[in-house]
Amino acid sequence: MSKSAILVTGGAGYIGSHTCVQLIEQGYEVLVVDNLINSSEESLRRVETITGRKVPFFNLDLCNREVLDAFFARQKIDAVIHFAGLKAVGESVRIPLRYYENNLVSTMNLLECMEKYKVYRLVFSSSATVYGNPETVPLREDCRTSATNPYGATKLFLERILTDVGNANQKFHITLLRYFNPVGAHKSGLIGEDPSGIPNNLFPYITQVAIGKLPKLSVFGGDYPTHDGTGVRDYIHVEDLAAGHLAALAHLDDKAGVNVYNLGTGVGYSVLDMVKAFEKVSGAKVPYEIVDRRAGDIATCYADASKAMKELDWKAERGLDEMCEDSWRWQTKNPNGYKG
């Protein structure tokens, strides 16, 4: 007997596609909505190859309320995992209005349709950026929140909107997952992170330099108050992150209202730590250059993920070597990403 029908918004993206695989493997029915602005339908074809199951895909924009309403009217949906949104910190600083409009309007449209069609279970893709410039690390869910860039501000505003919606309608069960830095790829090497243009995230930048697509890694800032001057982050394998969504889904009915969890490893690594680890695992060289700090970036950020362990029975299982191995396998098998 199949489990619930889960709508995955942004399901063709990096984290969404890995989560779709795990949902299908656990017996869920999956529906994917994505406008393919920063993703590829090829990722879903690969999800079908991995799982042996057809993935119903709908190319639509959540910002179009009329189209979204018609979609909800036709589908049976038991819960939503909401990944869809623009997500590049640097780009958000350059074009803030596009980020505010896209991320806020799409989510409000989604919530209105969920309420209209009585779909009350939601797992939301938030971010550690809501902690702003941390006063203390590791970061706990009750730490002060703020935003240092427009992308982070959209996540912070959406957390507030979701909290208000959950308070106003007690039928809602909403879980906010604050991700730290996802890396890695599926063991098969069939799906992984496929940024368009110059990567915004560290790992695809490292792997593209290692394979020769880019000449060198630009390290943004070498004068942070860290052990080697470069920014420290909590890197989590995308498969562990996907498993966190399934854990959140499984525990959605435990508590009414809105609950928030960090998804991270609890360990901070600097940019140069990651470069050295990757070189060791891959045997490839990654030349780099220290350049100016990037607007909106912070020095150090890593998680206290003990609440997720206690309440969701989830913890990150994969270490740094596995993150590097899986990233390298994806890159070498797919030197041009899904376009290859």
Which pLDDT score, from 0 to 100, does residue 2 have?
54
Task: Say if residues 312 and 248 touch (Cβ distance below 8 Å).
Answer: yes
Rounded distance between C-alpha atoms, residue 149 and residue 62, angstroms: 23
Whole-model pTM?
0.96
Q: What percent of the chain has pLDDT over 70?
A: 99
- Whose structure tokens read 């806020």? 104
pLDDT digit string, tens, across residues 108-132: 999 999 999 999 999 999 999 999 9
- Per the residue annotation, which of 151, 205, 235, 338 is the catalytic one? 151
Is 302 catalytic? The answer is no
Confidence band of 1 (pLDDT split at 50, 70, 90):
very low
Q: Which CATH superfamily is domain 5-183+235-264 in?
A: NAD(P)-binding Rossmann-like Domain (3.40.50.720)
Domain ranges for the chain: 5-183+235-264
pLDDT digit string, tens, across residues 13-30: 999 999 999 999 999 999
Which helix (H) or strand (E) element contains residue 299? none
Q: ∠ CA(123), CA(126), CA(128), 5° rounding?
A: 140
**Does pLDDT of 297 surpass 90?**
no
Per-residue pLDDT averaged across 165-180, rounded?
97
Task: Say if residues 277 and 286 touch (Cβ distance below 8 Å).
Answer: no
